[in-house]
Amino acid sequence: MGQTPSAPRMPAACAHVLVAGPVRNCSATIARETARLAHALSPFASVSFLLAESDSTDDSVATLQRLAHERPGFAFVSLGDLRHDHPIRCDRIAVCRNYYQDIIRTSPAYRHIDYIIEADMDGLNTSLDAQGVLTCWETDIDWGGITANQRLCYYDIWALRHRDWSPVDCWAAYRAIVDVVGPRQALEVCVSSKQIRLPLDAGLIEVDSSFGGFAIYKREAYLSGRFVGLDENGAEVNEHIAFHDDLRAHGHRLYINPAMINAEYTDHTYYKTRIGHLRTELMWNLREAADRLRCRDGLESIVKSLKRVMG
């Protein structure tokens, strides 16, 4: 491991931050997303945006061009159709993240940036506010990266690595046992049981990797890693794992901040709400009945219809 960085954390009011993220088919939502994030980050000296668009089938590029003209500090790159050469989703996302990371590293326009924020731009960060963000500065812990929490429960288990909480790839673990215990129990053991509530006052939780849709990095930490969406066998992996491995190898430490809430819950944890639990139970029961009756394909269409009706 390299030497632990000693650069002090710059006060928020003096710091310049850049929000970066990949986008696709964002025409209807991107103006609202940038405005929401800019408001939550208003305590900083300046807020810029650098997004990477690819594979859109709507008028995302035209909308991004309009935003670039209307909003100071807003920029984007369009990488066109990546699906042909990069058919696996996390590989495409890694290409986008690495592309704008190289711009941040080399462009004079971003030399003044002190912190880089990786953010999902698809409507996840609806509960993020300045008070929650500023709790990252109310600590003496020297973090290189710090990631968000969700109020109902922490959801992003695929990007999570913690020695005791979630030490392995949750979906690889799921695939290893699903044929033995069935999909319902495999999902519970490998994913659902790890989506736990983190009390807001729990204090920072050190992890090997995490994301949760919103992460703040010191500049030197961010530029020490690369995103990788495929393993050595060409299988899909969460692109944050390799990135955070690199950060920690350079001596940077990563934490979840339970007090920095960016969402109440997500599509991945809706099942933990009262209504979501009832819906999930119904769907599982229908699927299990269909398997017993050997009519799974027919009932899957009914399940999809019920999901639409029940929200």
The one-letter code for the residue type at 294 is R
**So what's the pLDDT on residue 4?**
42
Q: Say what the pLDDT of residue 82 is.
A: 98
pLDDT of 2? 37
Which parts of the chain fold into alpha helices (H)?
30-40, 60-70, 89-106, 130-134, 170-181, 183-190, 219-222, 239-249, 274-293, 296-309
Given this model, what pLDDT does residue 258 score? 98
Q: Which residues have CB under 8 Å from 257's CB, separation 6+?
A: 135, 136, 146, 147, 148, 149, 204
pTM of the model: 0.88
CA–CA distance, 48 with 154 (Å, rounded to integer): 27
Residue ranges for the chain with pLDDT beneath 70:
1-8, 271, 277, 280-281, 284, 286-287, 290-292, 294-311
Task: Determine the CATH number of domain 12-166+199-266.
Answer: 3.90.550.10
What pLDDT was estimated at residue 237? Answer: 98
Token pair for 42: 């208003």
pLDDT for the residue numbered 268: 78
249-283 pLDDT, tens digit per residue, is 999 999 999 999 999 978 877 767 777 767 766 77
| 271 to 122, 206, 237, 284: CA distances (angstroms) | 20, 27, 24, 12
pLDDT tens digits, 119-146: 999 999 999 999 999 999 999 999 999 9
Neighbours of 311 (CB within 10 A): 8
- Going by the DSSP 8-state scheme, the letter that residue 215 receives in this structure is E
Go through 223-237 and write b for each residue having 16 or more CB atoms within 10 A of its CB, e for each that does not: bbbebbbbeeeeeeb
The DSSP secondary-structure symbol of 138 reads S
Q: How many other CB atoms are there within 10 angstroms of residue 303's CB atom?
A: 15
In order, the DSSP letters of 80-120 are ---TTT--SHHHHHHHHHHHHHHHHHH-GGGTT--EEEEE-
State residue 299's pLDDT score.
55
Half-sphere exposure of 153 (CA within 13 A, CB side): 16
Q: What strands lie across the sheet with 254-263, from one edge to the other? A: 74-78, 46-53, 16-23, 115-119, 214-218, 145-150, 254-263, 205-207
